[in-house]
Amino acid sequence: MILYGLKTCDTCRKALKAFPNAEFVDVSMTSVPEGILDRAISQFGDKVLNTKSTTWRGLDETERGKDPKALLIAHPKLMKRPLISEGDALYLGWDKDTQAALLG
C-alpha cells in the first residue's frame, strides 16, 4: 500500500496511523508517478483536485481552467489527499467509504 499526500496534512496522518506499515510519499517532495496520476484522473476526474485548498484559492481563473493533470504536475499540493494505491485499486480521500473498503 502506498499513500500519496502531505506530511503536514491531518487527514493523511489519520490514514497513515491506520496503516503504519504503508509506504508514504510526500507529494511536495516526490511527485506522484505519471501512471498513478493518469489512473486517478481517469477514475476520479476533477475530484482529484482539492478546490478548498489555499493553493487553489491562490490560482487565477486561467490557471484553474487548465487540465487537472497539468495543474497537479505544476502544483502537487492541489491533490485531494490522501491518494491511496492498494494493488490495482485507487482510493481518494479518507472518508467512511474508503475506510470501510480498506479496513473492512
Residues taking part in catalysis: 9
The angle formed by the CA atoms of residues 79, 68 and 53, to the nearest 5 degrees, is 35
In whole angstroms, give the CA distance from residue 69 to residue 78.
10
Q: Long-range contacts made by residues 97-102, C-beta under 8 angstroms, separation at least 24?
A: 99/18, 102/18, 102/19
- Adjacent-strand bridge partners of 89: 86
